[in-house]
Amino acid sequence: MTKLSVNINKIATLRNARGANNPNVVQVAFDCERFGAEGITVHPRPDERHIRYQDCLDLAKVVTTEFNIEGYPDQRFMQLIREVKPAQATLVPDPPDAITSNTGWDTIAHQSLLKDIVAELKEIGTRVSIFINPEAKYFEPAKLTGTDRVELYTEPYASQYHQDREKAVFPYVEVSKIARELGLGLNAGHDLDLHNLAFLKKNIPWLEEVSIGHALICDALYYGLENTVQMYRRQLEG
């Protein structure tokens, strides 16, 4: 069954807008798990404009499902992983000023860097996932880094879904078969929502985890957080 990991960055964005602690990101993470989420994802950035590094330390004390920390593997990120020891570290190639992740790793050009980082993370005892575009050429080099999983960058799928969903999902199905043949675990994330999630899962039934934040939090404004988490879970159960 595909697990739902709720990205709570947007909760922190709302909190930071007023400078206090409302909403409380730790309480929201606790409640998301209580409502049925099977993981909590955060992506701290150097300017701490949403999730703060201290949030990660605080969340590590309460998250009982899978804690997934995303980020560019600079020195501060690696130190955070050493301190927190999350279930999973997801490596993204974002520059410090990126608004959101908008591409995967070039695992050919950065294979040496990634291999060293993956080895260090696995010594810590953390499962490693590499954010990757749905292009076949990147998968065998990803395997050679020693990573446990890859996370498919699904923004292109989401943006094309309403025009031609079969065409949109096709490259993802093809690379997911390659990942499976290579023995790589498969995650997915970026712009997945209640419209396109079930179709992705139907076409890639061995998908292990999806990480969803922005759309889920937006939907929660209308449906309520508890109901929304369960609605997303149902999209993955078909």
Q: What's the rounded mean pLDDT across residues 212-237?
A: 98
Query: Looking at the annotation, which residues are catalytic?
Result: 43, 70, 190
Determine if the peptide bond prior to 23 is cis (ω within 30°): yes
Checking if the pLDDT of 49 tops 70, the result is: yes
pLDDT of residue 95: 66
d(CA 113, CA 179): 21
pLDDT of residue 99: 55
pLDDT of residue 32: 98
Checking if the pLDDT of 10 tops 60, the result is: yes
Checking if the pLDDT of 3 tops 70, the result is: yes
Instruction: For residue 226, count CB atoms less than 10 angstroms from its CB and return exposed for 0-12, middle for 13-18, buried for 19 or more.
Output: middle
Mean pLDDT of the chain: 96
Q: What's the rounded mean pLDDT across residues 29-48?
A: 96
Looking at per-residue pLDDT, the higher value among 3 and 102 belongs to 3
Taking only the tens place, the pLDDT of each residue in 174-190 is: 999 999 999 999 999 99
Q: What's the rounded mean pLDDT across residues 67-74?
A: 96
pLDDT of residue 169: 98
pLDDT of residue 94: 79
Contact 210, 2 (CB under 8 A): yes
Checking if the pLDDT of 52 tops 90, the result is: yes
d(CA 173, CA 202): 10
Beta bridge partners of 4: 210
Checking if the pLDDT of 101 tops 80, the result is: no
Q: What's the rounded mean pLDDT across residues 149-162?
A: 98
CB burial of 62-92 (b: ≥16 within 10 Å; e: otherwise) equals ebebbbbbbbbbeeebbebbeebebbbbbbb
Return the percentage of the chain with pLDDT > 90, whole number: 93
Q: What distances in angstroms separate CA 49 from CA 14, 78, 176, 220, one per listed residue? A: 10, 19, 33, 21
* Locus of tokens 């960055």: 9
pLDDT of residue 100: 59
Question: Which of 61-65, 93-97, 138-142 is predicted least confidently?
Answer: 93-97
DSSP 2: P
Two structure tokens written together for 199:
């179709």
pLDDT of residue 62: 96
Contacts by 19-27, CB closer than 8 A, 24 or more apart = 25/51, 25/55, 25/58, 25/59, 26/55, 26/58, 26/59, 26/62
